[in-house]
Structure 1
């Protein structure tokens, strides 16, 4: 089974019910990081605070750890790609996806032409 890494953009699009992201609702293996959940939780606090804890809790089962090696590689990627202005969280997420042989799912423009990315608006 293919593995997919959902970044914060993807998590929010799933939450909104974007048809392009429906295939990730069930029947596929997905992962994310606690950092992505942090960003998503902040978004939820702004738009749906009453249910923020519920959504956060439901996503905890999909969280993978971030190793020190991933952090170093991610910061190397961020430095090498500084023209793209990747966020720390995005650089870590993309690196985790590469390390786990997962497709990185996002709609963030910075990733549009990068390898191993399922770019969905």
Structure 2
């Protein structure tokens, strides 16, 4: 079975630019991933956790952290899937989102990794 990425490089470059426009400043780690688990693009928050473009996301961290991965379901059904998980003391909601027009790609992220949403006041103003 050939798991190679069959998307032209120019198209991958355009997808990476679009990904950065949408997710580059998101405060939680986000990655654009191929079905073979190769990371196509990632935001700055994701890079801070030791992930990098071209690596297999499944090789990051302990193998048990990837049990229950729903990427295959998201790609098979072409519907977003999510679940609550507990990792250490943190509770997170993890998402796998198919990418319209690209059945072999998905966006993967969790909320609650870098931000404790239970401690956010009703109105947060940016002081920049």
TM-score, structure 1 normalization: 0.29
Name the structure with the higher helix share.
1
Q: Which has the higher contact order (CA 8 A, sep 6+)?
A: 1
Q: Point out the structure with max Rg over C-alpha.
A: 2
